[in-house]
Structure 1
Amino acid sequence: MSGKLQKAKGFKKSRTGMYISIATSLFGVVGTVKRAKQARAEGDTLQLVDVAVSAAGIVTGVALLVRELRRLDLEDVVDDVLD
């Protein structure tokens, strides 16, 4: 595997990468809210269910990213104590 590819894979697990992932996930909220408003206006129950499932996916994804970010912080603290 090339060095650049390895570096890119490591970025996703970095603190900066986590923050970018969280921001990207939260950006999806804008589209979900727009779809919810449109579905309500049209009275479309199926679209409302779809929006609810999408919102649950966003919440779950952000929660997983926050948990991983906390693990990174915990590993930093443990590394500092062991050094």
Structure 2
Amino acid sequence: MSKLTKAKDFKKSKSGTYLSIAGTAFGAIGVAKRLKKARAEKDTLVLIDATVSAVAIVTGLAILYRELKRLGDDDVLLG
């Protein structure tokens, strides 16, 4: 099995999904800082940009959570 195939399989595994969730959540910290700074400076454009980024992060986390549940449902030992 090639390294590329292993990497693709990892991305579709529970471990890979957890890692993706952690990375996405870590990105949320940066967005929260941008939101706080934009509010303090009353910069509407940066505030809108950070809000859109926050919505994208929430959507991404929801998709990853759904994928994690799907992976759990496919577990042979559960059913």
Give TM-score scaled by structure 2 length: 0.93
**2: distance between equivalents of 1:69 and 1:37?**
31
Q: CA deviation at 1:37?
A: 1.1
Q: Could you tell me which residue of structure 2 aligns to residue 45 of structure 1? A: 44
Say which structure is richer in helix: 1
Report matched runs for 1:1-83 at 5 Å. 3-76=2-75, 79-80=76-77, 81=79
- The count of aligned residue pairs is 78
Q: Identical aligned pairs, as a percentage?
A: 56
Instruction: Provide the secondary structure at the position in 2 that maps to 1:48.
Output: helix
Q: CA deviation at 1:3?
A: 1.3
**1: distance between equivalents of 2:50 and 2:66?**
24
**2: distance between equivalents of 1:72 and 1:61?**
17
5+ residue gaps, structure 2, are: none
> What is the letter of the counterpart of residue 75 of structure 1?
D
Please tell me whether Structure 1 or Structure 2 has the larger radius of gyration of its CA atoms: 1
**2: distance between equivalents of 1:4 and 1:34?**
37
5+ residue gaps, structure 1, are: none
CA RMSD between the two structures: 1.0
List 4+ stretches of structure 1 deviating above 3 A: none
Residues 13-53 of structure 1: CA deviation (Å, up to 9, x unaligned): 00000000000000011111111111011101111111110
**1: distance between equivalents of 2:69 and 2:46?**
34
